[in-house]
Amino acid sequence: MRGETVMNKGGKFSVYEGVLLTTMIIVPKILYTSTPVVVKQLGTAAWYGTLISCLAAFIFFLLVCMLMARFPGKNIVKVFEAVLGKVLGKISGIIFSGYILYYAASNLREFLEMIKVYNLPDTPPSIILIAFIAVSTLIAYKGIESIVRISCINFYPIMLGLFIILVLAYPYYDPDYLKPYYGYGLKGTLYVGFLRSSAYQEVMILPIIIASIHSIKDFTKIGLISIVISGFVFSISFLCYVMAYQYTMGKENLSGIFQLSRVIYYSRYFQRVESIFLFTWVISSLLTVSTAFYSSIRVYCQSFNIKNHRPILIPFALLMYVIALQPKNISELIEVNLRFVRQYSLILIFGLPVLVLLIAIIFGKKEDNCDA
């Protein structure tokens, strides 16, 4: 492994593969509690409120691209160290690693609550958690290449499954449910839309795995295209959901899209289609958690120049298990963990890199590396 970590042995991937990976870890949240939560906050404006979030995330990522372009060849942790110094850079990396692990555990607990409510009410939670973490650890053990390959294989089946659900629910749509068009007010829509740019935070995996991307140009393309595709999917999903349930009923469901799939009924021979598409939710959740789990470990290794990430897989897996068990119930999970992750984490996940960019510009810090 002379000069090369185990984590980078998978080589590089193309723009196409990068877009599938990034989109695949952004979109799955629409399948869980995000839909009713956003409808509760924005009412009938949920479908275009998420486009405001998309635009904000687009701008934030452009700023991140400017930062990474000043230090070609360096990952986000090394950029922090180059601008803030070794000590503050490592501290920033550790904070990033801890937050990403918290994010992974929160998503894991959300999956647990969904699967308990809808499919496995009698299964002990620990069994589901241990099985899920074991698979995530195995995927992380193989590294970024296995994650990219899994994303490429499952992207189209999962997107097709979501599309089929939205199409089959067509008889239940009523365009009048989109009124009033301004929701709870334009000012509130803009405010929540800006905060919910955190919903696109998964794009920040790209500065972590930038060594696997061919160039800054490809890095920028992957991030921006993924954000646009995800924003389109979110907007269409919210539009269909509000037309089916109206905002008054839509905010009461636990899982919006899953609930939408349950109402599909054409005859006694064509009903309960959610059972057919169950694998899409399981695989997408597994991929999201596994990617975040691996990213947390990778940032930690980058902070301390650890060559091989595999020996610390088990300690991180145990930490994720403990963090996932912290919320006392699903209400606490939604109101505390997921609210922070998907509404206020932009202060850390986007705010810190933007702050570092400002410091780099003010003090003229950059690195010219033509070979990077």
In a domain, 369, yes or no: no
Secondary structure letter of residue 336 according to DSSP: I
Q: Per-residue confidence of the chain (372 residues) as pLDDT tens digits?
A: 333 445 555 568 899 999 999 999 999 888 888 888 999 999 999 999 999 999 999 999 999 999 999 999 899 999 999 999 999 999 999 999 999 999 999 999 999 988 888 788 888 999 999 999 999 999 999 999 899 999 999 999 889 888 988 998 898 899 999 988 888 989 999 999 999 999 999 999 999 999 999 899 999 999 999 999 999 999 999 999 999 988 888 888 877 788 888 788 777 766 667 776 777 888 889 999 999 999 999 999 999 999 899 999 999 999 999 999 999 988 899 889 999 999 899 999 999 999 999 999 999 988 764 444
In a domain, 16, yes or no: yes
Give, rounded to a whole angstrom, the gap between the first and last alpha carbons of the chain: 20
In a domain, 259, yes or no: yes
Burial-class residue 107 by CB neighbours within 10 Å (0-12, 13-18, 19+).
buried
Q: In 3D, which of 249, 49, 276, 244 has the Cα closest to residue 162?
A: 276
In a domain, 2, yes or no: no
Assessment of whether the complete model's pTM goes beyond 0.75: yes
Q: Which residues form the domain of 13?
A: 9-362
In a domain, 370, yes or no: no
In a domain, 207, yes or no: yes
**Sign of the Cα pseudo-torsion (173, 42, 54, 22, in order):** negative
282 neighbors 118 (Cβ within 8 angstroms): no
Q: Give the whole-angstrom CA distance, residue 143 versus residue 137.
A: 10
In a domain, 371, yes or no: no
Which amino acid type is present at position 241? Answer: Y
In a domain, 311, yes or no: yes
Instruction: State how many domains the chain has.
Output: 1
**Sign of the Cα pseudo-torsion (352, 341, 199, 23, in order):** positive
51 to 129, 158, 176, 234, 238: CA distances (angstroms)? 34, 22, 21, 8, 11
What Rg, from alpha-carbon coordinates, does the chain have? 20
Q: In 3D, which of 228, 260, 237 has the Cα closest to residue 46?
A: 237
DSSP secondary structure of 243-257: HHHHHHHHTT-SSHH
- Whichever domain contains 143, its CATH number is 1.20.1740.10
